[in-house]
C-alpha cells in the first residue's frame, strides 16, 4: 500500500502548533491527480459483485446507514416512525438488521433517544449552525452541548468553509478542537461539505485538518449542497484516513452522505472502502452512509437476493 503522505511528515502535534506550520503542512500535501482519481473511482465502480458477496454487502450496507431526516418540517411523530424503521427496517422480516444510527436536528434528539432506548442504535445530531456553519464559535459550542445534553452520542459538525477557503486553517482547526471538547464522550463527525470545496486538493487538505483536529469521522456532505457525496471525493477521504492510521496508529472513519440512493451505488462505495482503506474499514464503526431513501432500495435488493424475485416499492415503508 502506497501512502499519499511523505514518510517524513513528522509529528502532527508539531504541524498544528502554529498557523504557518499548519499551512505549510496542508499545502505540502501532494496534489491530487484529478484525471487519475476519477478514472480509478470509475474503474472500481465497474467491479462485478457476485451473489454471496452481494448479500453480505447489502447486509453490511444496511448496518452502516445513518438514517437521516433533516427537514424544516420534521416533527416528533416523524422522528419516532423513523426510529421504528431504524430498529426494524422491515417489520415482517426479523433477519433484516438494524441500521447504525438515526440522524436528526438537535431539538429532536430527545425524541429519538427515547424511541431508541435499549436498542444500541446511536443517535446522531447535526450541530454547529448546520448546514452553513456560519455563526460565532460560542453559538456553535452551545449548539453542540445542547445536543449532547439531550442524549446525542454522535455529533455531525460542519466546518467553516468560508474560513477554510480563505486560508484561515488555524481558525477551522481551533473550531474542530473546541467542538470535539464540547462533545465529551460523544463521537464527532466533521462534515467537509466537499461540494463547496471546489478542488480535490482542498478535499485532501480539509480531511487532514479534520483528522488533526480530532474528528472521529470525516463526512463528505450535509446533503444540502449539490454535488453531495461522489465516489472520487470519498476516495480522497479514505486515503487520508488510511494514511492517518498508518502514521499515527489512530483509526478514524469516513461517512458518505447525500445523493446515495440505490443499493448499487452503496455497493460501489463499499468496494472503494475495501480497495482504498482496506477490509478493516468494512464495519459500521468505521464507515457510514448518511441517507434516507437509500434504505428502501437496500431493503428491496436484500429481498431480491433472499427470494430470487424482483421486489416492489409497495412493500417497503414510505418515509
Partner 1 sequence: MSDRLDVRRTAKLYLGGKFPRSESGRTYEVEAADGRFLANAALASRKDVRDAVGAARKAQPGWAGATAYNRGQVLYRVAEMLEGRRVQFAHELVDAEGCKPKEAAAQVDAAIDRWVWYAGWSDKFHQVDGGLNPVAGPYFNLSVPEPTGVVGAIAPQGSSLLGLVAVLAPIIVSGNTVVVVTSRERPLPAVSLGEVLATSDVPGGVVNILTGDAEELAPILAGHLDVNALDLTGCAGTDTTELEVLAAENVKRVVRPPAEEPSFEPVPAGPRRILAFCETKTVWHPKGT
Site for partner 1 (CB under 8 A): how many residues? 8
Contacts with 243 (C-beta within 8 Å, 6 or more apart), sequence order: 3, 4, 5
Contact range with partner 1 by CB under 8 A, out of 24-32, 117-125, 178-186, 309-317: 309-317
Q: Is 171 or 262 the residue whose CB approaches partner 1 more closely?
A: 262
Q: Is 2 or 48 the residue whose CB approaches partner 1 more closely?
A: 48
- Residue 89 beta carbon to partner 1: minimum distance, rounded to whole angstroms: 17
* 313 belongs to the binding site for partner 1 (CB under 8 A): yes
User: Which of the residues 156, 243, 265, 297 is marked catalytic?
Assistant: 156
Binding pattern to partner 1, positions 65-94, x when CB under 8 A?
------------------------------
Q: Is 189 or 303 the residue whose CB approaches partner 1 more closely?
A: 303
Contact range with partner 1 by CB under 8 A, out of 189-197, 241-249, 289-297, 302-310: 302-310
Binds partner 1 (CB under 8 A): choice among 35, 138, 312, 318: 312
Active site annotation includes 156: yes
SS in 3 state form for the chain?
Answer: CCCCCCHHHCCHHHHCCCHHHHHHHHHHCCCCCHHHHHHHHHHHHCCCCCHHHHHHHHHHHHHCEEEECCCCCCCHHHHHHHHHHHHCCCCCCCCCCCCCEEEECHHHHHHHHHHCCCCCCEEEEEECCCCCCCCCHHHHHHHHHHHHHCCCCEEEEECCHHHHHCCCHHHHHHHHHHHHHHHCCCEEEEECCHHHCCCHHHHHHHHHHHHHCCCCEEECCCCCCCCCCCHHHHHHHHHHHHHHHHHHCCCCEEEEECCCCCHHHHHHHHHHHHHHHCHHHCCCCCEEEEECCHHHHHHHHHHHHHHCCCCCHHHCCCC
Q: Is 77 or 308 the residue whose CB approaches partner 1 more closely?
A: 308
User: Which of the residues 140, 180, 189, 255 is marked catalytic?
Assistant: 255
250 φψ region: left (φ > 0), alpha (ψ -120 to 50), beta (else): beta
φ and ψ of 97, to 5 deg: -70, 165
Contacts with 15 (C-beta within 8 Å, 6 or more apart), sequence order: 9, 21, 22, 25, 212
* 310 belongs to the binding site for partner 1 (CB under 8 A): yes
- Residue 308 beta carbon to partner 1: minimum distance, rounded to whole angstroms: 7
- Residue 205 beta carbon to partner 1: minimum distance, rounded to whole angstroms: 40
Q: Is 156 or 265 the residue whose CB approaches partner 1 more closely?
A: 265
Binds partner 1 (CB under 8 A): choice among 109, 315, 318, 319: 315
Nearest residue to 155 (alpha-carbon basis) of 132, 176, 134: 176
- Residue 264 beta carbon to partner 1: minimum distance, rounded to whole angstroms: 12
* 309 belongs to the binding site for partner 1 (CB under 8 A): yes
- Residue 165 beta carbon to partner 1: minimum distance, rounded to whole angstroms: 39
Active site annotation includes 224: no
Q: Is 52 or 314 the residue whose CB approaches partner 1 more closely?
A: 314
Binds partner 1 (CB under 8 A): choice among 36, 314, 318, 319: 314
* 50 belongs to the binding site for partner 1 (CB under 8 A): no
Active site annotation includes 11: no
Instruction: Indicate which residues carry an active-site annotation.
Output: 156, 219, 255
Site residues (vs partner 1, CB under 8 A):
308-315
Amino acid at each position: 500500500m502506497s501512502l499519499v503522505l511523505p514518510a517524513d511528515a513528522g509529528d502532527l502535534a508539531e504541524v498544528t502548533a502554529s498557523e504557518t506550520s499548519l499551512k505549510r503542512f496542508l499545502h505540502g500535501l501532494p496534489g491530487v491527480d484529478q484525471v487519475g482519481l476519477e478514472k480509478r473511482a470509475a474503474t472500481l465502480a465497474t467491479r462485478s459483485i457476485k451473489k454471496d458477496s452481494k448479500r453480505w454487502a447489502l447486509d453490511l450496507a444496511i448496518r452502516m446507514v445513518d438514517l437521516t431526516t433533516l427537514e424544516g418540517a420534521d416533527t416528533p411523530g416523524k422522528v419516532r416512525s423513523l426510529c421504528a424503521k431504524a430498529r426494524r427496517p422491515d417489520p415482517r422480516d426479523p433477519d433484516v438488521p438494524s441500521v447504525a444510527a438515526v440522524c436528526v436536528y438537535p431539538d429532536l434528539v430527545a425524541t429519538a433517544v427515547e424511541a431508541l432506548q435499549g436498542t444500541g442504535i446511536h443517535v446522531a445530531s447535526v450541530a454547529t449552525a448546520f448546514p452553513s456553519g456560519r455563526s460565532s464559535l460560542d453559538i456553535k459550542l452551545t449548539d453542540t452541548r445542547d445536543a449532547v445534553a439531550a442524549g446525542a452520542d454522535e455529533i455531525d459538525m460542519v466546518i467553516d468553509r468560508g474560513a477554510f477557503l480563505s486560508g484561515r486553517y488555524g481558525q477551522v482547526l481551533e473550531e474542530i478542537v473546541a467542538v470535539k471538547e464540547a462533545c465529551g464522550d460523544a463521537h464527532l463527525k466533521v462534515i467537509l461539505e466537499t461540494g463547496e470545496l471546489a478542488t480535490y486538493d482542498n478535499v485532501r487538505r480539509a480531511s487532514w485538518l479534520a483528522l488533526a483536529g480530532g474528528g472521529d469521522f470525516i463526512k463528505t456532505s450535509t446533503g444540502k449542497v449539490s454535488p453531495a457525496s461522489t465516489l472520487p471525493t470519498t476516495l480522497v477521504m479514505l486515503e487520508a484516513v488510511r494514511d492517518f492510521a498508518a502514521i499515527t496508529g489512530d483509526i478514524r472513519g469516513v461517512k458518505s452522505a447525500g445523493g446515495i440512493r440505490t443499493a448499487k451505488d452503496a455497493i460501489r462505495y463499499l468496494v472503494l472502502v475495501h480497495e482504498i482503506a482496506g477490509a478493516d474499514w468494512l464495519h459500521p464503526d468505521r464507515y457510514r452512509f448518511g441517507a434516507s431513501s437509500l434504505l428502501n432500495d437496500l431493503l428491496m435488493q436484500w429481498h431480491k437476493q433472499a427470494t430470487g424475485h424482483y421486489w416492489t416499492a409497495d412493500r417497503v415503508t414510505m418515509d
